[in-house]
Amino acid sequence: MKLKILLIAFFSCTVLIQCTENKKESPTAIKKKLPNIVFIYTDDLGYGDVGFNGPSQIKTPNLNKLANNGLRFTNGYASSSTCTPSRYALLTGRYPWREKEAKILPGTAPLIIGTNQATIPKMLKEKGYHTGIVGKWHLGLGAGNVNWNEEITPGPNQVGFDESYIMAATQDRVPTVYIKNGHVVNIDPNDPIEIDYQNNFPGQPTGLDNPELLKMKWYDGHYNSIVNGIPRIGFMNGGEKAKWIDEDMADHFLQKAQDYVKKNKDKPFFLYYAMQQPHVPRTPHPRFVGKSGLGSRGDVILEADWCIGEFIKTLENENLLENTLIVFSSDNGPVLNDGYYDDAEEKLGSHNPFAQFRGGKYSLFDAGTHVPFFTYWKGTIKPAVSDALVCQIDLLSSLAKLVGSNTNVSDSKELLNTFLGKSAIGREHLVIEAMQYTAFRKNNWIMIPPNDGEAVNKMVKIELGNSTKYQLYDISNDIGQKTNLASVYPDKLKELIQEYKKAIK
C-alpha cells in the first residue's frame, strides 16, 4: 500500500515538473516560432546605384537576386538624409528630429540613445533573441571624455546588443580602430590612444601640413591625422597596433558577420550588419579596384554586393535562409565628392545614383531619403513590388507585432503585413529630416516648410531643398520636384501645413 502511494506521488510530481517545464518554452520551441532577423544597412547608397531599381551602370547581381525574389519597395524611406539621425531612428523607432543630439556626430560624442529607451535589439532580446551588431555604429559612445584604453560604456551593449563589433563613427573619422563589446581590439597598454577633435598632438603629421605622406588627396575638411596614408577628421595619437587597414575593412566586417551567424545559429538571432560602403574614404580591396569602371565609389559598391552574396551563402550553408527575415536599405541618399578626390564625379559617366529624384545626401529633396529598400524571407515573402509608403522607423513596431511584443513607439507604425507582402497599405504621411530641417510627405504630395538654410551645399554640389518660401510638389506628376505648386494649390498647401503641424506635435 505504501509502495503504491509512493509511486502515485512520484508520477504526480513528474507530470507537474513536465507541465512547469513546458510553460518555459525551450530554445528549440522558440526557434521554430521566431524567425532570425537581419538588417543589412548600407551607407550613402543611392536609389539608382542598384540594378533592382532600374538601369544601373554598377552590377549588383547578389542584391538584384534578393530584391527580385523578395518584396521591393518603390517608396521606401530613411528618416533622414544623413547617417546618425537615420541610425537613431532605425533602432529606436523614433523620429530623429525629436532628439536634438541626433545629428552627424564626431567620434568622441557620447551615446545619444538612452539606456532606458526602447530599441529593436532590446525588444527582441526580451522575446528570446540573441542580438548582435557588426559594422558602423555612429551613435556615440560613453558619457563624454571616453578613455579609449579602458572599457567604453555605455554603448551598443547597453542598449540591447548582446554582442557588438563596431567602428565608433565613420571610416573618415578618428578613432580608426575596431571596438568589440566596449574594448578596443588589439589595444597596447604601452601605446595608449588619445583622441581630440580640436587640437593636434605634438609631432603628429596632418593632411594639411604633410601632403607628401598621402595616398588619397583630401577635400573639404578631411585634413587632420593621417592613418594608412589617408587624412581623417579629428586628431589621433597612439594605438598603432589597433588601427584598422582600410582596404581590409569590408572583408573584416563580413567575417565577423559570418562568425556571428555560425555561433548563434541554434537560437533566434537578430543581426544588424551595418556596412560602411560607399561612404568615404572609398577604399576597395585590391580585388575590386578598377572593376566598375566608375572609380572607387563604383568599386566599393561592387565590393558591398559581393560581401552580401557571401553573407547569404553563409545563411544557406547553415540552413537558415528559409527562417530568416532580411531587411535591406541605406541610411540616406547618395553623394559623390564628399571629402576626398577619388574620381567619383570624373568617372561617373552615364551612371545616375540619384535616379529620377532631386537632391541627394544632406537634402530635403527626395533623393536624400528615398532609398533602396526591400524585404526578403525565402518561402514566406512572395516576389513582388510594392508602392506602399514605408519608412525604416516602422520596423520597430512591425517586428514587435511579428514576435508578440507589446513594445510601442508612437512614431513607428505597425506595418508588418505590408513588409511581408500581405497588404498594399503603407503610411499615409511621413516627416523626413535633413540637417535638422524637416519636410512632409502625404500620399503623393510633398510639402517643405520655409527655413533659413542654404539652398545648395557647394562642397558636394547638392541642392538642399531649403527656401524662405513654402514648397509644394505633386510627385505623381513631377517626381523630380521641378515645379513648386504652392501658389497654384493654396488649399492643398493649407491642408498639408495643418497635417504637418499635427504630425510633429
Q: Phi and psi of 145, rounded to 5°?
A: 55, 55
> Quick one: average pLDDT of 474-501?
98
pLDDT on residue 348:
97
Q: Using the predicted structure, report yes or no on whether residue 317 has a pLDDT greater than 70.
A: yes
Q: How would residue 33 be classed by pLDDT, with cut points 50, 70 and 90?
A: confident
User: Which pLDDT belongs to residue 16?
Assistant: 46
Across the range 368-382, mean pLDDT stands at 98
Q: pTM of the prediction?
A: 0.94
Q: What is the pLDDT of residue 15?
A: 45
Q: What is the pLDDT of residue 335?
A: 98
Q: What mean pLDDT do residues 47-63 have?
A: 96
Q: What is the pLDDT of residues 108-140, one digit of tens each?
A: 999 999 999 999 999 999 999 999 999 999 999
Contact 256, 165 (CB under 8 A): yes
Is the pLDDT score of 14 beyond 80? Answer: no
- The angle subtended at Cα 426 by Cα 62 and Cα 51, nearest 5°, is 20
Instruction: Specify which residues 445 forms β-bridges with.
Output: 442, 474
In whole numbers, what is the pLDDT of the chain averaged over residues? 94
Phi, psi of 433, rounded to the nearest 5 degrees:
-135, 145
The answer to whether residue 20 scores a pLDDT higher than 50 is: no
The DSSP code sequence of 363-413 is: -SSGGGTB--EEEE-TTTSPSEEEEEEEEGGGHHHHHHHHHT-----TTS-
Among 165, 120, 113, which Cα is nearest to 142's?
Answer: 113
Domains and CATH numbers, the chain: 35-193+238-425 (3.40.720.10), 204-235 (no CATH), 434-504 (3.30.1120.10)
- pLDDT band at residue 50, thresholds of 50, 70 and 90? very high
The answer on pLDDT for 18 being more than 70 is: no
* pLDDT recorded at residue 31: 53
Q: How far is CA 460 from the centre of its chain?
A: 21
